[in-house]
A = this chain, B = another copy of it.
Amino acid sequence: MDDKVIKLFSEKNLVFIATLMKDGSPQLSPVWANYEDGYVLINTAEGRIKHKNVLRDPRVAVSVVSKDNPLDMTTIRGTVDELIPDYEYKHADKLTKQYMNRD
């Protein structure tokens, strides 16, 4: 991804993720996300609709718009590469820092 897009995922911008329901219809959720080593990392709880959806079908779309300039945005279509457990809340804590400025 280019630097401008990486920046969008490194700021306090809400990220929207679209997943697919069992019947193939789209589902949409606002989430916190960050960017690490070429991946957009999204944190969610196990058992949430979007988690169940990507277990069944990994195809997703992700959109992010700058809080400060709505013309500064990107939309990505892709697939979930990996589901990474975060039982120690390491990633969740990183996101809290990014979005809330606190540990």
Could you list which residues of chain A lie within 8 angstroms of chain B, going by C-beta atoms? 14, 16, 18-21, 24-30, 59-63, 65, 70, 73, 75, 77
Q: How far is the CA of A68 from the CA of B33 in the complex (A)?
A: 19
Partner of A26, one of B30, B70, B77: B77
User: Which B residue sits closest to A78, measured CB to CB?
Assistant: B25
Whether A20 and B26, one on each chain, are in contact in the complex, defined by CB atoms closer than 8 angstroms, is yes
Main secondary structure of the interface of A (DSSP, over half): strand
Q: Copy number of this protein in the oligomer?
A: 2
Q: Which of B14, B29, B73, B77 is close to A27, meaning CB atoms less than 8 Å apart?
A: B77
Check if B26 sits within 8 Å of A59, measured CB to CB. Answer: yes
Distance to closest chain B CB from A48 (angstroms)? 12
Whether B30 contacts A20 by the Cβ 8 Å rule is no
Select one of B26, B30, B65, B70 contacting A19, CB under 8 A.
B26
Instruction: Please indicate the chain B residues that have their CB under 8 angstroms from the CB of A70 in the complex.
Output: 14, 30
Contact across chains for B28 and A28 when beta carbons are under 8 A apart: yes
Contacts of A27 in B (CB 8 A): 18, 61, 75, 77
